Structure 1
Amino acid sequence: MVDFFKNIKGDKAIWGVVALLALFSFLPVYSASSNLVYVVGNGTTVGHLLKHAMLLILGFGVIYGVHKIPTHFFKGLSLIAMPVVLLLLVYTLAQGTTIEGANASRWIRLPLVGFTFQTSTLASVVLMIYVARYLTKIKDKEINFKESILPLWLPVFLVLILILPANFSTAAIIFFMVLLLCFMGGYPMRYLMGIIGTGILLLTLFVLLAKAVPDLFPNRVDTWISRVESFWDPEDTEADYQIEKAKIAIATGGIVGSGAGKSVMKNFLPQSSSDFIYAIIVEEYGLIGGFAIMFFYLLLLFRIVVVANGSSSVFSKLLVVGVGLPIVFQALINMAVAVELFPVTGQTLPLISSGGTSIWMTCLAIGIVLSASNKNMEEEENASELDDTNPLEVLSGQL
């Protein structure tokens, strides 16, 4: 065990925050899973807890394995993984899976283990690495928009187009994160404005197509529109049931909460163990618990920025920002949805919500960040060794 901890490298603060969030997640997941057991009739609370534990154990195995990979290896891996991701997205969308008449082509089932896998989460991580690699390649060069269309924007828009029909919120987050990464990587702002205009145009065409041919993407566009309408103008539309129950849960929690496992709204709030788990946390642990969770995500953001700033190579800086920021951004969106500061999106709370793919891909991204921080620490150690070396000794050794 001692040897195992000696092999753990990278930013210790990130390890600590991730471990604390993962350990805390057992309490709300166990509590909120009673909704799946007694309301939906799916399994047992102990079964859901054991499944969550297994997913987290595998996730930490991913972190440990990935953080041992040298950062520069991810350049080549992204080139190999991008075609694979595109094929998986095509296969996922082609399944035409529906749930209660609505298009839900987000998952593929892994036959050997029985789990479902959401390919868009893998695509988002791979795409951010790919974009970071390209921005590093063109760094300090005069950027020509036409030359960047095929190697940069074609893969980006292919990924977005394949994700959009079944998962608008994920596609929008990926698009925003790519734009942010390109801006930080020095891509000209005038070109980015053109890309934003192109994205809005393609989204408009998609909505018009879905309206003209309703059977092509059942209910998805109508769901988006109803969520946005209920968010901006709740008086003219029927209040969203999920948001209503989430706000009741938060109001019930007060300052210190009702206590662990004592949530009442978990029995009425759909997706209480995943999309709306933050509302259950606030109900059981109050504003103190809610702000504590927010603090740890902001601490994670701070350490990600520290790692990026300490990286010596442009690729490492962009890589850390590209895969690290979406974790915190997704967490903030999840919390904002629960308090009705944002329309309902279906985004989980990283490392806390139940669900296999989201946990694994979050752990993959954290492993990449830790790989970069490990490289930073090794460079600092080498630099300190050189500083401590006596120049006369070096000179005499050379003679």
Structure 2
Amino acid sequence: MNATERPVIAATTRTAKRRGPRLSRADRTPLGLWFWEIDRVLLLLVSMLVAVGLVAVAAASPVAAQKLSTTTASLDPLYYFYRQLMWVIVGVPVMLAVSMLPKPQARRFAIYGTLTFLILLFLVPLIGASVNGAQRWLGSGMFRLQPSEFLKPFFAVSLAWILSLRLHDQSLPVVPLSFVLTGIIGVLLMGQPDLGQTIIFIGTWLVLVMVAGLSMRIIVLLATGGLAGLVVAYFTYSVATQRINSWLFGEGDSFQEDKAHATITAGGLIGTGPGAGLAKFKLPEAHTDYIFSVIGEEFGLIACLAIVVLYLAIIVRVLVRLLDEEDSFLILAVAGLIAQFGGQATINMAVNTQLFPSKGMTLPFISYGGSSFIALSIGMGLLLSLTRRNPYAARVSLTRNWNKK
């Protein structure tokens, strides 16, 4: 090394130190592998959804704070925003930590989670807390959680594992077993009552059994059975009767649906502006079930359409990742998780636009809620974990296939 080269090398070294360590494709550490294998586009889309949620909760927080202030001491108008920010600070690291799990560990994590929260779901009728006439929670205050919210993502992955066993051994009665498991969860949820979550669990099961390759005859029988179950629920389950009558015939109390429609259309195409909405103050559960209507009033129907596109982009991105997947378990698990995520979003937005009857269901990553946000973070973490790809391995496989030709 001559004297003229030393200053150049020293300057380059100092610049590299100032920039800090960089992850290269040769980095084989857990963090390095995670960075190059994770679907960074999907992670970006979810991050955008979380950011939209914080803005939406900030817009809806004054409504919820004002209503709570009538029975307690006066609250800060942004009280629920600060609490949601806390849940985001907790939930995002949880999502990233779960996404770092290798696929076999993610599957085991889901199975243990299913067993744990299924037990807790059994405890809800015995020691659960009632809120607004529904007994869905365990604990109280900051330590209150809703077992069904946490069970959803674990259930989707565990059910995928059970059904994937059928592809290895056709004699295993995995479909009846999955039906019994889903039926038990449905009975427990209807007893709370929680019609919306019941629909999500049953819908997830139907999607997975169809993806698993059941014959069309069995699928038709299942669809017929589901329709018959809905008819039975209408005549025997008072909550279902009231909501269906209100939706189809305009009978009974349609206050929530009417106020949601009035709020979402109050802002027109571009909205009244942040904090300028007035119709939202007449809206029940503005920060949770009907936050989509608050977005419509303050940010306009164009913003609502943008959110729909964002959800669709997440769904399409995940499905594209499945196009060249060959592992049956991964296909089923990812399909179940994204169907669950998309189904919940669709139901919430349809309720806000009066397309569906009221369900009491949050909008994923946008509505306020601790249990909901942490559970969704776990579910998205599992989705990110199961869709991780090694780009180097994919190139090696492509090269080998090309050489064979």
Q: What TM-score do you get using the length of structure 2 for normalisation?
A: 0.83
Matched with 2:15 is none
- Whether 1:124 and 2:152 are equivalent positions in the alignment is yes
Residue of structure 2 in register with 1:10 after alignment: 38
Question: 2:65, 2:78 within 8 Å by CA — same for their partners in 1?
Answer: no
Q: Is the 8 A contact 2:271 2:300 kept in 1?
A: yes
Partner of 1:159: 185
Q: Distance in 2 between matches of 1:350 and 1:55?
A: 13
Q: 1:82 to 1:24 in 2, by over 3 A?
A: closer
Give the match's secondary structure for 1:344.
coil
* Corresponding residue of 1:23: 51
- 8 Å contact from structure 2 (residues 234, 240) kept in 1: no
Selected match of 2:246 from 197, 212, 230:
230
Q: Distance in 2 between matches of 1:143 and 1:261?
A: 60
Contact 1:324/1:365, CA 8 A, preserved across alignment:
no
Give 2:261's aligned residue.
Answer: 247
| Counterpart Cα distance in 1 of 2:57 and 2:393 | 44
The Cα RMSD (Å) is 2.8
Q: Deviations over 1:277-335 (max 9, x none)?
A: 00010111111101111110000111110122243311111111111221122111111
Q: Equivalents in 1 of 2:265, 2:97: separation in Å?
A: 42
Q: Which amino acid aligns with 2:174?
A: S
Residues 3 and 168 of structure 1, relative CA distance in 2, 3 Å threshold: farther
Give aligned pairs, total. Answer: 369
Give the Å deviation of 1:123: 1.7
Identity %: 24
The code of the aligned residue for 1:18 comes to V
Tell me the equivalent position of 2:6: none
Residue aligning to 2:136: 106
Rounded to whole Å, the distance in 1 between the matches of 2:335 and 2:179 is: 19
Structure 1: segments with no counterpart, 5+ residues: 212-220, 392-399
Partner AA of 2:195 in structure 1: F
In structure 2, distance between residues paired with 1:269 and 1:3: 49
User: Is structure 2 residue 149 aligned with structure 1 residue 138?
Assistant: no
- Structure 2 residue aligned with 1:383: 394
The answer to whether the 8 A contact 2:87-2:373 is kept is: yes
Where does residue 364 of structure 1 map in the other structure?
378
Give the secondary structure class of the aligned counterpart of 1:230. Answer: helix
Q: Residues 3 and 369 from structure 1, CA distance in 2 versus in 1: closer, same or farther, beyond 3 angstroms?
A: farther
Structure (1 or 2) with the larger CA radius of gyration: 2
Matched, 1:94 2:126: yes
Amino acid at match of 2:392: E
Aligned to 1:216: none
Aligned to 2:107: 75
Contact 2:288 2:368 in 1 (8 A): yes
Q: Matched residues in 1 for 2:227 and 2:21: separation?
A: 54
1:81 Cα deviation from its structure 2 partner: 3.1
CA deviations 1:143-178 (Å, max 9, x no partner) are 67xx33663222221111111222011111210121
Distance 1:223 1:387 in 2: 55
